Amino acid sequence: MFGGVHVHFQQLAVAFSAMIYVYQRYSKLRMLAETGIALSMIPWNVPSSSVLTGVSPVLVGAFGRLTVGERRGLVLTAVSAVLALSLLILALAGFGPPPVHFVAHAYAPGALAESSWGDFSHASLACPSLLTQWLRLPTLVGLACGLIVIGRSAFAASTVEMRAGAERIAAVSI
């Protein structure tokens, strides 16, 4: 999922669930988990959802205010607004992807239906333009934050379990 052409909603559902779990369970990792969730909320499929991109600062800010407080929520709102504005500037400056003229064609009888979808998504989403790469940045940074907190929580849990086990062994040996 990390750095691919596109992210499946099922993968995001697992990533968000894991980040929310870490957010709820590990208070020391809460800020980074919240930042990861907030940055991942910024949509990167802007050509088809420009209204959602314009509203994303409000959504990210409201989420930030509810979870980490007014000041930090305001910072996340500003970051999201700057990203949304930079997308508009890049699009108006002509740094967007070229128009995709995809024409579906017939596939062999034994081919999977995903072949056609794969060709279309590769043609429309893998365009190496500055705008499409910039669009992915908040999602990738958010998912990287999520990966860090999930990894740190896994090691924190094993450290707590090892300490508890060592304390039990010490209590039994005394």
Domain count, the chain: 1
SS3 77: helix
pLDDT, average across residues 42-52: 61
Q: Does residue 58 form part of some domain?
A: yes
Q: Does residue 156 form part of some domain?
A: yes
Residue 58 CB partners (closer than 8 Å, separation 6+): 77
pLDDT at position 149, please?
93
Question: What domain range includes position 25?
Answer: 9-97+127-173
Q: What confidence tens digit (pLDDT) does each residue in 101-154 have? A: 666 667 677 776 666 666 766 666 666 677 777 877 888 888 899 999 999 988
Q: Does residue 141 form part of some domain?
A: yes
Q: Does residue 118 form part of some domain?
A: no
CA distances (Å), origin 136, targets 44, 52, 111, 166: 6, 15, 31, 45
Question: Taking 80 as the threshold, does the pLDDT of residue 43 lie above it?
Answer: no
pLDDT, average across residues 55-70: 84
Q: Does residue 147 form part of some domain?
A: yes
Q: Does residue 46 form part of some domain?
A: yes
- Name the band, by pLDDT with cuts 50, 70 and 90, for residue 4: very low
Q: Does residue 2 form part of some domain?
A: no
pLDDT at position 87, please?
78
Which one of 38-47, 142-151, 162-171 scores highest in mean pLDDT? 142-151
Q: Does residue 1 form part of some domain?
A: no
pTM exceeds 0.85 for this model: no
